[in-house]
Amino acid sequence: MQPTIELSHFDASPRFSKDNSFQFQPSKTSSATLIPVPNVLVPNNEPETSKNVGIVAEGSSPTEQLFGATVLAKIWTSSVSMHLDRKVRDTIFRQIDILHDADEWVCDGEPVQLESYKSAIRTLVYHHINNKPSLALMPSGNVVALWKDGDDKLTVEFLPGNKARWMVQSTSEAGLDRAAGTSPIERLRDVLMPYCANRWFDAG
């Protein structure tokens, strides 16, 4: 006889909520993924108190995908929130929500990609950046941050793996400088030093 396979907590269909005022509309094919919570059995087989109870909606509709992407980003942010200025964090969350507004969403783009988002937040923490940037999304879902100082601009596209693609427009006595490069995020202050990075990164 062939063995049977027991599948526990297999996601059935459909998932729905009673209150339609939620931020997403589940579809009949939606599914939700529990963030993995391995139960560690220790001496006396005492399983630990549950953790990571957040649900990320993975559903098939664009609205569900947008919601799921923002939830992933916000939950990950908690792992470094103790290093992040609260006002900067709140501003970033607000901008992420605006960028993922389902009514304004452009269909051919991707929602925020988590690995790019991580590079962005790590940059803010590592370089102690407390001057809040304006955020945008590339069609790939990579996060783009923009800082302005008068007509001078710094644009940084955050790539997965702690890398950043930057572009500077800076005015000097000799005229307009434009420069671009790709650097590890920990090098950003150094590579931007000729353009006085502190005027963008440091508030006040």
User: How many C-beta atoms lie closer than 10 Å to residue 24's C-beta?
Assistant: 19
Nearer to other proteins by C-beta: 24 or 195?
24
* Binding of other proteins by 20 (CB under 8 A): no
Q: In angstroms, rounded to a whole number, what is the distance separating the alpha carbons of residues 175 and 59?
A: 51
* Binding of other proteins by 11 (CB under 8 A): yes
* Binding of other proteins by 172 (CB under 8 A): no
Q: Which of 69, 41, 43, 48 is closest to 143 using CA atoms? A: 69
Q: Which residues of 72-108 are buried (b: 16+ CB within 10 A; e: fewer)?
A: bbbeebeeeeeebbeebbeebeebbeebbeeeeeeee
* Binding of other proteins by 182 (CB under 8 A): no
| Binding residue count for other proteins, defined by CB under 8 A | 61
Q: Which of 32, 35, 34, 36 is closest to 60 using CA atoms? A: 32
* Binding of other proteins by 174 (CB under 8 A): no
Going residue by residue from 77 to 116, which x/- string records binding to other proteins, judged by CB under 8 A? -xxxxxxxxx--xx--x---x-------------------
Going residue by residue from 40 to 59, which x/- string records binding to other proteins, judged by CB under 8 A? x-xxx-x-xxxxxxxx-x--
Nearer to other proteins by C-beta: 83 or 193?
83
Chain positions contacting other proteins, by CB under 8 A: 1-19, 22-23, 32, 40, 42-44, 46, 48-55, 57, 71, 74-75, 78-86, 89-90, 93, 97, 118, 122, 125-126, 128, 162, 184-186
